[in-house]
Structure 1
Amino acid sequence: MNYIGLDIGGSKFLVASADAQGNIKQRVRRPTPPALEDGIALLQEMIAIVSDGEPVSAIGAAAGGPLDWQTGVISPLHQPAWRDVPLRQIMADRWDCPLYVDVDTNVAALAEYHLGGHDVPALLYLTISTGMGGGLVQNGRLYRGHNGAHPEVGHQTI
């Protein structure tokens, strides 16, 4: 089994493969290309590298928000070329496996909850990087808020 994780960041792409137990097998990091077409081609190349010829069992992608998690359309504010991009559909056109697309901070919050904060009723994950954001897990479930718009803390006046 070969599980692939994509981090589509404002300054870098990180692609990793893992086995069924979650052990990282390979990872590749590259600067984020400015053009969408170059970015899609680079993701394909990076996935080919980390999958090492093995079939891909599932792919999870994380990108900056906002993102429509139901349709898989991303609109990261720090990447103008990637606004209103149907990432899940683009991935489905290229890979025949289960696909998951969400906001990077939601993915990080879920990872922290499952790998670190096991016995807490609520966990808030905050990050300040190329952008600022957060994800909230309550009672083991990701909190999405009204209309699926999770807590967009990056859009608060500080």
Structure 2
Amino acid sequence: MTTTHLIVMGVAGCGKSTIAQEIADRLGWSLAEGDELHPQANIDKMSAGTPLTDEDRWPWLDLIVDWTKTQAEQGQSTVVTCSALRRSYRDRLSAAPGKTYFVHLAGTKELLTARMNARKGHFMPPALLDSQLDTLEQLETDELGVVVDIDADVDTIVAVALSELEKLGAINQTTTTN
């Protein structure tokens, strides 16, 4: 049986954690919070307001792939949060066994800034939003993924994401087994 991996992606403040949790709950799939897999040095850098470099990100992306690989070996499909800002990062994440699809949560800079300013206790400061938006490479037509507008309530965002993923053949909402 082929496993499926859904990477819920986007810049800081787009709602990756909330949407990924809802999707994982609805599908009954394993969930990993990508931020929890960051090496401490990356967290320290971001907390200090310093953007990560590609060299900082590669080991983190490899840890995510290792986690999805372990889940796939157990026959478990997954949902993972990860900014996945560049095509090269998404290509690296797609190296996990099974099929990898991306759910890009997209919104305006104003909405993202408001969300970041409202959240408490997160290591990513709003000052880094511009660097993330500058780094973001949109999903290309040959990538397996969907773009979902975040200017809606959680249930609507999740419903749109699941509907679009079903159209791609990533999931079957009537049978949410692995």
Query: TM-score w.r.t. structure 2 length?
Result: 0.37
Structure holding more helix per residue: 2
Compare the two structures and name the one with the higher strand fraction.
Answer: 1
Higher relative contact order (CA 8 A, sep 6+): 2
TM-score of the two chains, using structure 1 as the length reference = 0.40
